[in-house]
Structures are given as structure tokens and as C-alpha cells.
Amino acid sequence: MSDAGPGESPLIEHLIELRARLMRGLLGLGMVLLALLPFSRALYSHLATPLISQLPDGQSMIATNPAGAFFAPLKLTFFTALFIAVPWLLYQAWAFVAPGLYAREKRLALPLLASAVTLFYVGCAFAYFLVLPAVFHFLTTFRPDVIAITPDAGAYLDFVLAIFFAFGASFELPVAMVILVLLGWVSPQQLREGRGYAIVGIFVVAAVLTPPDVVSQLMLAIPMCFLYELGIQAARWLVPRKQPASEP
């Protein structure tokens, strides 16, 4: 029976640490989910407000299958718990990888991680408070009178979650630009020179990610243009800090 190699013990320790971090992350997510379950109906009612406020008086949502009215609030509760627990989950991931990073990498990773989480939350809030009311107002205003809007509860939830993900992910643009500059793939000067191409690409991405209406497309494309400029300024600020590390 052969003895364990010198590299097996550290590997086993890393696997045990990874399992512990995963269990802690899932435990935190489960606790948040259990705390939110009693408020499932209230959460869905709150999420439906941007659409219900645009419907005629007395009109509400429907469920096209018997279980739809039950599973839609539960699905929303799970995603809300995941949304709230993201900082805790990211902390567990950070605590696992941080010991293997250099001091400079830690100094750069922490602000980038915090900025990514904050921008994702800002994107979702922007979508809920500004984009959804404008989109539903546009869609309900220009519909023919012979068409009655009777939205399905599950389809509405999928639509809103897709909007949240699209805006939350799109608001990560400055972080992605800074990472590309830090990796040396592009420079701030190249980002400035490619501004015209980037704006065209932003409008194409907005057209793909948003519903087929001009309101949501503009409300995604215009903030992304400002975020592109913010990414250039953030990259310019970080470049002087990167140069000394490349010297011998």
C-alpha cells in the first residue's frame, strides 16, 4: 500500500475548504429563502405593480395552468433570496481564493468585486423603477382597443427576470472594461478611439436583450453609453498603477 504523495494533503485540504465554503453559502441562501417564504404573495404583488398600474380598472393577471398561481410566487421568492444572498455567496468564494492571491491582486479584486455587485443592483433597480413602468405604459397605450391584455403570471415573471438580468449584466460594462485594460488586452486610448464602434455595438446589444420596443432599447442603450465613458475614466485611473508592476 503506497503512501500518499506530497501533493495529496494540500489538495484534500483545498477540497475540504471548498466543501465548507459551499455549505456555508448554501446555508446562508437557505436561511434567506426561509425568511422570505411567508412573504411570497406580497413579493409577487409588489413585482406586478408596474404592469397592474397600467391595466384597466378591475383587470388583473391570470394563470394558464392550475399550478401557475402557486409556483410563480415561489420562483420569485427563490430568485429574491438569491439576489439578497449574492454578497454572502461572493464572500465565500472570495474567502476560498483570497489566500492564493498576491497583495496587489487583492487590492484590485476587492474594489472590482464590490463595484460589480453594486452595478448589478443598480441595473436591476433602474429596470424596476424606470424601465418597466415606461415599457408597460408604452405597450398598453398603443395596443388596439379590441385586444384585452390578460398577462399570465408565469410569463410575466419570466419577462421581468429577463429584463432584470439584461440590465444588471449590461451595467457591468465598466468593470469588464477595467478588467480588459488590466489584462493588457486593450488600452484606454484604444477604448477612446473605438468609441463610435462601441456605441453601435451597444445599440445592437440593447436591441437583442430588450423587448421589441424602442423605449426599453433606448433606456438600456443610453445608460450603457454613459457607462462606457465611465469605464474609460476608471481604466485611465488604474493604468498608472499597473505600469510599475510591469517593470523588471
Could you tell me the three cell numbers for 86? Answer: 449574492
CB 110 within 8 A of CB 158: no
> pLDDT confidence of 169, banded at 50, 70, 90?
very high
State which amino acid sits at residue 8: E
Q: In Å, how far from its chain's centre is CA 145?
A: 36
pTM over 0.75: yes
Nearest to 180 by CA among 248, 123, 228: 228
Q: What's the CA dihedral at 4, 10, 12, 17 to 10 degrees?
A: 170
> pLDDT confidence of 240, banded at 50, 70, 90?
low
The percent of residues in the chain predicted with pLDDT above 70, rounded, is 92
185: three-class secondary structure by DSSP: coil
Nearest to 41 by CA among 74, 7, 65, 12: 74
Q: How far apart are CA 19 and CA 24, in angstroms?
A: 9
What lies within 8 Å, CB to CB, of 96 at 6+ separation is 17, 18, 21
Helices 8-36, 68-97: axis angle to 10 degrees equals 140
User: Helical H runs in the chain?
Assistant: 8-36, 40-47, 49-52, 68-97, 103-126, 132-141, 153-170, 173-182, 188-193, 195-209, 214-242
Q: What is the pLDDT of residue 91?
A: 92
CB 170 within 8 A of CB 220: yes
State which amino acid sits at residue 133: P
In the predicted model, is pLDDT for residue 243 greater than 80?
no
In the predicted model, is pLDDT for residue 163 greater than 50?
yes
Lowest mean pLDDT among 20-34, 71-85, 226-240: 226-240
Any idea where the domains of the chain sit in the sequence? 9-238
Q: What is the pLDDT of residue 26?
A: 95
What lies within 8 Å, CB to CB, of 176 at 6+ separation is 231
- Across the chain, mean pLDDT equals 86
Nearest to 132 by CA among 161, 171, 172, 169: 161
